Chains A and B, each alone.
Chain A
């Protein structure tokens, strides 16, 4: 599971949960891969992200302080910054662990790099 995926997932489908975001991450195995860098694609993704959630996830799973507290202005023209975002979003992979609902503590297992977001019938 890439951090881009973490940035999009929520537990809002659970009964009684109002926001369900961001999900906590407990990682037992993390790896990094190499993904082709496309500055235009990263620039296009950035407006869709919750920066704070990405920053937090990158601090926990990657290297603390690797991303700045706030999104910088004029990022489209800052290749160095875009490369960092690229790395954090697409190259860090959680192979196994859990995602945790911030409101109920319900945990969603990640196995083989795939988060399992399925709910039981009595949970919806």
Chain B
């Protein structure tokens, strides 16, 4: 026995306070947030943000995330270079954390969000539950990719005061922070209810 959706009764659910209100209202009667049956232009906005994140991902990996200056010799290190260096130093678990947080999480998140957008755009009706879980997982793990940016900031502050060695944040740190922020906003602008709309229309 399948229940009814809010949209089928022309009710809009507020994403801030979960109040159900007549979809013709422009504002939530309880909290004042703009009210929509579905997030407006969700697919186009999410895709535009995902493309932006992909573009930012290129300098984030090519440019140095950290510049180390010791007795006049400066060494640049990229995100992947940092991972290789950690493996050479024998810190495999830490290398794994950085690799997962800086490479697998952002790429996995981009792929997952592109996939759910594509599945909604082409009107797929199979396994909606798996796609919803995938979307929610992508939303949840997003901020963990900030780890490397934080590591760079801590190293900069920590090492600076000794004067022996200088560590400077590289341009990739800004680009990478941009990737993380843009993908978080992209995940927020995607409306997972679109995954179910196709089959709800069929069932009616």
Is chain B a partner of chain A in the same complex? no
